[in-house]
Amino acid sequence: MDWDSANPRVGVTKLLIMSFIVLAMPWMNVSADKDSSAYVEMVVTPQQEYYDIVDNETLQQSVRFEISTYDTNESDSYQIKISLYEEYETYGSLHKIVSATYTNLEISISLSSLFSEWTNDTNYSVFAELSEKESGEDEFNLIDTVNFSFAVGEDPRIEPDPILENVEITCDEDWQITQNETRLQADDSAFVLNCSAQNNNAVRIETQHNILAQQYDAGIEFRINTEASSIDGNGSTTNFTLRPRGWNLSMIIPNGSVSVQININAEGWQSNHTIIEINYTIEQEISVTPSEPVIIPGCTDIAATNFNPNATADDGSCEYSIPIPPDCPMCNFTYQIPSQVSIDTPAIFSADATLSEGWDYYGGATISWGFDGIIVNGDEVEHTYTSVPSGGRTNVTICVQFISGPESCQAEMITVNLSLSGYISHSSQLEPLTSDGAGAVHFTIEVWGGLAPYSYQWQFGDGTISTNHSVLHEFFETGMKNVSVEIIDARGNYINLSAQIDIGKSKVPILPKLRL
């Protein structure tokens, strides 16, 4: 077991999974009347119920136990006994695996330090037992115990509950309701619609029937009555009825529909719901035309300060509060300006003022850019520098002009460097590296401008490639060879360079290696 002084203890409350129990262990005496203020705490990092540590030494090393003591007396002596048990809940102290006693009061150990032959699907417990020997006494007495229990293996997967199958709803056809000059009676069976719900699940379900909110202009209201609040399984049914409970006498009610939702649930199953839309037709028996609805003039805009919820016709009287100008109109304004650009290479500059506080208040804005005296308008613009400025740096100015509002400008410093350029340098023909080679040449690339870092793609005309900055390449045939390299900088700009190499016959033979 090791002591980790680089990982100090983090003070936390005692962990929920820990239990503090006093055990009568055979290796020490327990004083029944001992009243010591010292105690021990154990912090486990990471704290889990399961650890999949078999054949995973890295995880064994990462799971650590930080054991600390508090409120000790300087005149007394202390020791901590660390013990590892297997299946402690079943066998108690009989299945002790390892134990060790420490005199230092701050201990840091890992699972790999405790044990190495872990077994899957097995429960383990780590105990830390604090003992105290008062000044002048000969024996240590157990004063506090803390333990942490865990299982070795994968965290078991919890399968979700199965989902209930929705009930099947059937209703009588051709639901017709007659509108007359008097309100409907609640027990008028002539307008009742009979329906049934069938449960095809294998379990008994609890049901809840609801009529969903109807449109305001429907002019009629319904109620639902159910035969039972539950349905047995395997095709059992229960009945329910729909009937109108009243209508608006001041209007001719149109044909329409009513939506019914049936929620179902059962213990151990995921709930579900069914929504059915039931159409009805209205037969009129009204001898006189209903009176026109009363018109109530007023402000119907809910955003107005004098909004009238009872008004049925807007009379143009709406009043609105005067908005307060924002303290920070440029807040939430964003822009993208590259920190480095190259000459003769187009660069993109973009900005977005639509989320700024000034955009909503002033009703929009325009954006302009300043490039060394050149003004360009637009949210996203493209600009190409043709020369490197003095010192290699220059300012880019961005201005936001709010409609009927203020203008705000700011500047950003960017670096302008040369465009991506370079050339190939190579050695003269070198002697071949192998016995069947024609000759070798050392190539290197000199590159400047653009934006570092660079990447390289060499082509040697014989099917071989290289991505190195410099390369020693061996040719196996004589003659003129075309060598090319593509250079790509960090912005994705690229150039292609090429060179021709004449490979002649080697004058120095390659001698075979001799065996000694």
pLDDT in tens, 371-428: 988 999 999 999 999 988 888 899 999 999 999 888 999 999 999 988 888 899 999 9
DSSP letters spanning 115-140:
-S---TTEEEEEEEEEEEE-TT-SS-
Structure confidence at residue 421 (pLDDT)? 85
- With CA atoms as reference, report the closest residue to 64 among 47, 41, 39: 47
Calpha distance 282→43 (Å, rounded): 74
- With CA atoms as reference, report the closest residue to 64 among 153, 119, 1, 140: 1
Q: Place 271 in a pLDDT band, splitting at 50, 70 and 90.
A: very high
Mapping DSSP to helix (H, G, I), strand (E, B) and coil, where does residue 195 land?
Answer: strand
For residue 211, is pLDDT > 90?
A: no
Domains of the chain, CATH where assigned: 39-152 (2.60.40.10), 168-284 (2.60.40.10), 293-322 (no CATH), 334-417 (2.60.40.10), 421-503 (2.60.40.10)
Residue 136 corresponds to which amino acid? G
Backbone angles phi, psi at 93, to 5 degrees: -80, 0
Structure confidence at residue 405 (pLDDT)? 86
Query: Edge to edge, what strands does the sheet with 230-231 contain?
Result: 176-179, 272-284, 256-265, 205-211, 230-231
Length of the chain: 516
Structure confidence at residue 290 (pLDDT)? 57
| Largest CA-CA distance found in the chain, in angstroms, rounded | 127
Of all helices (H) and strands (E), which one includes residue 376?
Answer: strand 374-377
Calpha distance 468→458 (Å, rounded): 8
Calpha distance 240→46 (Å, rounded): 56
Determine how β-strand 393-402 pairs with β-strand 407-417. Answer: antiparallel
For residue 496, is pLDDT > 90?
A: yes
The predicted model gives 238-242 an average pLDDT of 92
Instruction: List pLDDT tens digits, range 313-371.
Output: 999 999 988 888 898 999 999 999 998 898 888 999 999 999 999 998 898 999 999 99
Between the CA of residue 493 and those of 341, 487, 497, what are the distances in Å? 11, 8, 14
Calpha distance 23→495 (Å, rounded): 78
Contact 57, 49 (CB under 8 A): no
Q: Is the peptide bond before 46 cis (omega within 30 degrees of 0)?
A: yes
